[in-house]
Structure 1
Amino acid sequence: MKVTIDEISPVQKRLSVEISSDVVLKELNETYAKLNKKVKIKGFRPGKVPRKIIEKFYSDQVKSEVIDTLISKTLPKAIEDARLIPILHPQLDSASPIKAGETFSYSVTVDLWPEFEVTDYKGIEIEKPEITVTDQEVEEQLEALRRHFGAIEAVEEDRPLETNDIAIIDYSGEIDGEPVEGLDEKDYYLEVGKGYFNEEFERAIIGMAVGSERTIEITYPDDAINEKVAGKTVYYNVVLKGIKKRILPELNDEFAQKFSPDYKTIDDLRERLKKQILADKEEAVRSSLRNQILDKLVSGVDFPVPERLIEAKLDQMIDNISGHLHERGVDLEKAGISQDRLKEKMREDAIKQVKTELILDKIADKEDVKVENEELARHIDQSSTQIDREELLAALVQHVLPKLRAKKTLDLLLEHAVIRQAASEADAMDQTRD
Structure 2
Amino acid sequence: MKATWEKIEKNLGVLEVEVEVERVTAALDKAFNKVVKKANVPGFRKGKVPRAIFESRFGVESLYQDAIDILLPEAYGEAIDETDIFPVDRPEVDVEQFAKGQPFIFKAKVTVKPEVKLGEYKGLEVPVQKAEVTEEELTAELTRLQERHAELVVIEDEVAANGDITVIDFDGSVDGVPFEGGQAERHSLELGSNSFIPGFEEQVIGMGVGDLKDIEVTFPETYHAENLAGKVAVFKVKLHEIKRKQLPALDDEFAKDVSEFDTLEEYKADLKQQLESRKQDELKGVRENAVVDKASENAEIEIPESMIESEVQNMVRDFDNRLRQQGMNMDMFLSFSGQTREDLQTQMKGDAEKRVRNNLVLEVIAKTENIEVSEEEITQELATMAEAYKRTPEEIRSILTANGSIGSLNEDISLRKTIEFLVANSKEVEAVEEAAAEVSAE
Task: Letter of the 2:365 partner, please give it.
Answer: I
CA distance in structure 2 between the partners assigned to 1:229 and 1:193 by the alignment: 27
Deviation, 1:361, is: 0.3
Are the aligned partners of 2:168 and 2:240 in contact in 1 as well (CA < 8 Å)? yes
Task: Letter of the 2:364 partner, please give it.
Answer: K
Corresponding residue for 2:86? 86
Deviation, 1:267, is: 1.5
Are the aligned partners of 2:28 and 2:63 in contact in 1 as well (CA < 8 Å)? no
Corresponding residue for 2:205? 206
Q: TM-score, normalised by structure 1?
A: 0.80
CA change 1:176–1:318 in 2 (3 A) is: farther
Deviation, 1:135, is: 1.8
- Listed one character per residue, the Cα deviations across residues 387-410 of structure 1 (whole Å, up to 9, x for unaligned) are 474452464433221111111111
Q: What is the number of residues matched between the two proteins?
A: 424
CA change 1:303–1:186 in 2 (3 A) is: farther
Corresponding residue for 1:120? 120
Map 1:10-29 to 2 at 5 A: 10-15=10-15, 26-29=25-28
CA change 1:350–1:25 in 2 (3 A) is: closer
Match for 1:278 among 276, 295, 303?
Answer: 276
Are the aligned partners of 1:11 and 1:306 in contact in 2 as well (CA < 8 Å)? yes
Task: Letter of the 1:69 partner, please give it.
Answer: I
Match for 2:406 among 397, 415, 421?
Answer: 397
Task: Letter of the 1:399 partner, please give it.
Answer: S
Corresponding residue for 1:341? 343
Deviation, 1:217, is: 2.5
CA distance in structure 2 between the partners assigned to 1:432 and 1:186 by the alignment: 62
CA distance in structure 1 between the partners assigned to 2:62 and 2:164 by the alignment: 66
Give SS of 1:323's match: helix
Moved more, 192-201 or 205-214: 192-201
Are the aligned partners of 1:153 and 1:245 in contact in 2 as well (CA < 8 Å)? yes
CA change 1:38–1:188 in 2 (3 A) is: same
Q: 1:409 aligned to 2:418?
A: yes
CA change 1:281–1:162 in 2 (3 A) is: same
Q: 1:317 aligned to 2:315?
A: yes
Are the aligned partners of 2:97 and 2:103 in contact in 1 as well (CA < 8 Å)? no
Give SS of 2:167's match: strand
- Listed one character per residue, the Cα deviations across residues 188-240 of structure 1 (whole Å, up to 9, x for unaligned) are 323223555567443332112233223132464x6x68575997355351523
Moved more, 145-154 or 409-418: 145-154
Are the aligned partners of 2:25 and 2:100 in contact in 1 as well (CA < 8 Å)? no
Question: Percent identical across equivalent pairs?
Answer: 27
CA change 1:286–1:53 in 2 (3 A) is: farther
Deviation, 1:269, is: 1.6
CA change 1:14–1:341 in 2 (3 A) is: farther
Give SS of 1:359's match: helix
CA distance in structure 2 between the partners assigned to 1:130 and 1:423 by the alignment: 14
CA distance in structure 1 between the partners assigned to 2:287 and 2:304 by the alignment: 28
CA distance in structure 1 between the partners assigned to 2:396 and 2:271 by the alignment: 43
Corresponding residue for 1:153? 153
Deviation, 1:245, is: 1.1
- Listed one character per residue, the Cα deviations across residues 38-91 of structure 1 (whole Å, up to 9, x for unaligned) are 99x9x999x97623788899x99976652243214432454467x561244754
Corresponding residue for 1:163? 162
Corresponding residue for 2:190? 191
CA change 1:170–1:405 in 2 (3 A) is: farther
CA distance in structure 2 between the partners assigned to 1:8 and 1:194 by the alignment: 54
CA change 1:195–1:37 in 2 (3 A) is: closer
Deviation, 1:305, is: 1.3
Match for 1:264 among 262, 265, 273?
Answer: 262
- Listed one character per residue, the Cα deviations across residues 228-286 of structure 1 (whole Å, up to 9, x for unaligned) are 599735535152332111122222212211233x3011112211221111111111111
Moved more, 405-414 or 338-347: 338-347
Task: Letter of the 2:68 partner, please give it.
Answer: I
Task: Letter of the 1:190 partner, please give it.
Answer: L
CA change 1:14–1:333 in 2 (3 A) is: farther
Moved more, 377-386 or 331-340: 377-386
Give SS of 1:258's match: helix
Deviation, 1:431, is: 5.1
CA change 1:266–1:120 in 2 (3 A) is: same
Are the aligned partners of 1:380 and 1:393 in contact in 2 as well (CA < 8 Å)? no
Task: Letter of the 2:71 partner, please give it.
Answer: L
Map 1:200-239 to 2 at 5 A: 200-210=199-209, 211-218=211-218, 220=220, 226=224, 228=226, 232=230, 234-235=232-233, 237=235, 239=237
CA distance in structure 2 between the partners assigned to 1:431 and 1:19 by the alignment: 72
CA change 1:153–1:119 in 2 (3 A) is: same
CA change 1:161–1:299 in 2 (3 A) is: same
CA change 1:245–1:289 in 2 (3 A) is: same
Corresponding residue for 2:303? 305
- RMSD value, Cα: 4.3
Q: Structure 2: where are the runs of 5+ without partners?
A: none
Q: 1:420 aligned to 2:429?
A: yes
Give SS of 2:303's match: coil
